[in-house]
Chain A
């Protein structure tokens, strides 16, 4: 039996039926990582083989005794290297935390362990989650499994690539402005950003506190739902995590089978989405998805999000302001890199942060510091908060007319490594469709919707009201089935023999 590219749900069924063991599944995943990660560079740290197999065997024993802790117990998973783990270093893709070992585990890491998933390692990312291509990692870029000369997207490029190449069926990333949805689109997998406050941020190294959410990657909407069930829920250690109860997301999907997820659903398509820069093949994929949805019983209408054009500016002021403060702790005093101590305290601060941070991180810290600084706060940060409020209200008004908003995830398929690095602003503009969901705290999912003529994946994005993940997942699940774009395998990474 081979396991590469099998959905988590299928693996779970195999495990439950005794057709497979976790040991075999985990061993196969480790083998596949060992064979393929050199080309991909998705992983920054991989579990010790013996330890991982021991945990897998333990899950097999628990299952045999009738005590499997969850449906996904025994299934391997990778997580982005900005969630702290005692078992692995946490670098956030940065020199300033190279080799850093946290003395505690993130809340999601605890939940995964309690649910019996087997954590196989940490994945590559843009430094401190700042980027849309994973080219800003201090440890080298991750490559897109569909074309190794292209980016997998970012900042959660490692996790997306790992799932896309069938290394593991499940992975976690974090999404602040699209850092899970965009790589999902560029790599041809499913990526869901939950509503803000759905998943605990305790242990997620902060980039932009009011925008960050830990987000699942998988090969199907159902798998994402299963994983979301495990990581979602109020955590007393995160004051921004919400009281909302966690429904059985996957069960709700089963109930919405046979396309019921789309019947009678009102879908809005914002007219502000159709701007210059939107690749015609991406636009075509979106229109096809809308046709498919209509055929399944959904109604589609235009909506307007008039402040959407200001979204990028708004995001890049708020996110960078929060980041400039969140990253002040990296100063060479308590952990991480320290250089320049011989030039005194101030010299140490300046030199450590010069050597430890890459150019993009520096750019964003400077922009954020500027936006908060005396004399500029009102015009920059203050104004951005006001516009954020307007964007929130635009969505609230739209959701009075429709239940879901559909559109592109990214304006283009995967671009070449190095293609957008000369001009940071160009890179920022590619977040246009994803970052509004973070600003408005909405859940959003990207599902594969087809491929370009060059064979590169194209995703579509669906957004819903806060905490309306059940409707979002049901509709996405129905659309996924009809679009028939899921489960594609990059030719360069065939399944195991």
Chain B
């Protein structure tokens, strides 16, 4: 509206990620998802009288890895703290977390650009799409709580499963550097990728291994003071993050534009109805009474340990994409598709190496077409990920070599690939077994062409009369007669010759 004040949003994100450890953070119970209720528990995670926590070394290693991948400084000494509150899925009546002295601080992550990009200041108001550095305030370790169910029509009870108590989490908190819902969605997307690539977290938002809370406030465009912020919880998909923010920003804008004031509150996102509902307001704001956990001495990390973790970091998604673009000439989009997961990226590069040890760009592009195309299609049809694909990277290479040698046509090769996946056999065997071998034998093709011409007098007459379109139909008939294995170029040539006679 002309003359109406414009508002900008200021967004901060808190992400909780479950770590890919075998056991819980303070006890040896397994962390497997989906176990029967209350079967993965012990005195420690149940908070039985007399129980004590002992820290899982792999949880620390993964947290350090995540911190380094996000450019945070790992503190040599950090302290666990108790966050005290009452809730039925919190057995001890406190959560062991970190407060004043977290494991890592002052990091960043880039959004808005797939790979290298100049850093842009957070207050620049850059529009979505320009590369921006989002500052990460802190990363710390803590334990997860159990799950409560509030059965519909279950009247006056809630039911509690404590399996999830004690699953290790890292909490990653940004500075309020984000400005748009899309930017926030992209941040979560990039963070998921990094955590997946580093094998820190599987990023499965549906199962709750990655959870997001957002803080958002709105202020007049160009103002420096922050507006009153609200918090939205229960955003369990990236779509939800974006939709939730869009809705809340619109609401706050309406309030401010109408001369009102935003009330600080916590909202729960209802994904079905796409609205954010205020949580029942409490008589008093939470006073968590944080104090250092007396059952756990300080966590000490040596420079040598940090160095070891740094050296064992895999290539991160952004860097990997940049390398694929630079070395193979892939487009940023293609590089993005091929690096959607670490496993897929590893698969792709192994296939390239198997096909062309010199890894030339042409070869890499060829492999890219096949992986992005047929491989992903087969995976999608079967709702699988690359780990369940029964064709090894070397199998892709073998298939491409058959294509290069003319032993199989492009069309047939798709069928061969499907056979290789379905039966777990090698390219040559799949080709033979399926009768996909390309026919380049002129004699055989002449015979096939002769039969097609004989059986299709009218179409042949049309072609001779000048109707080119019908020619394609006849080529199709030749392919059909040879079950798709006729060498297309040769078949076309022989057909043309055959029609041309007489």
Contact = CB atoms under 8 A, between A and B. Distances in A.
Contacts, number: 100
Nearest to A235: B52
Interface in A206-243: 206, 208-210, 236-240
Given A239-B55, A377-B291, A206 B50 contact: yes
Interface in B281-297: 287, 289-291, 294-297
Contact of B94 (A104, A239, A325, A333): A325
Interface string B155-194: 0001010000000000000000000000000000000000
Nearest to B48: A102
Contacts of B54: 236-239
A104 B48 contact: yes
Given A328-B92, A329-B93, A373-B289, A239 B49 contact: no
Nearest to B88: A333
B43 interface: yes
A334 B50 contact: no
B50 A369 contact: no
A270 interface: no
Contact of B295 (A92, A239, A324): A239
B115 to A, nearest CB: 43
A28 B92 CA distance: 42
Interface in B19-58: 43, 46-55
Contacts of B209: none
B91 interface: yes
A329 B53 CA distance: 15
A345 B52 contact: no
Contact of B49 (A90, A240, A349): A90
A236 B53 CA distance: 10
B50 to A, nearest CB: 4
Given A325-B84, A331-B93, A374-B289, A204 B50 contact: yes
Contacts of B160: 333
Contacts of A83: 50
B149 interface: no
A372 B84 contact: yes
A97 B49 contact: yes
B486 to A, nearest CB: 71
18 contacts: A84-B50, A97-B49, A104-B48, A203-B50, A209-B294, A236-B54, A239-B53, A240-B52, A325-B84, A325-B289, A325-B291, A327-B93, A328-B84, A328-B86, A329-B93, A331-B86, A333-B91, A334-B47
B82 interface: yes
A321 interface: yes
Q: How large is the interface on A (under 10, 10 to 19, 20 to 34, 35 or more residues)?
A: 35 or more
A377 B47 CA distance: 25
Nearest to B89: A333
B297 to A, nearest CB: 6
Interface of B: 43, 46-55, 82, 84, 86, 88, 91-94, 158, 160, 287, 289-291, 294-297
Nearest to B47: A329
B295 A209 contact: yes
Nearest to A201: B52
A245 interface: no
Contact of A240 (B51, B91, B158, B295): B295
A277 interface: no
Interface in A305-342: 321-322, 324-325, 327-329, 331, 333-335
Nearest to A200: B52
A85 to B, nearest CB: 10
A240 B48 CA distance: 18
A88 interface: no
A106 B92 CA distance: 18
Contacts of B47: 329, 334
Contacts of A206: 49-50, 295
A239 B52 contact: yes
Contacts of A372: 84, 289-291
Contact of B52 (A238, A324, A328): A238
Nearest to A238: B52
A353 B43 CA distance: 22
Contacts of A236: 54
A66 interface: no
A377 B289 contact: yes
A104 B50 CA distance: 10
B296 A239 contact: yes
B50 A237 contact: no
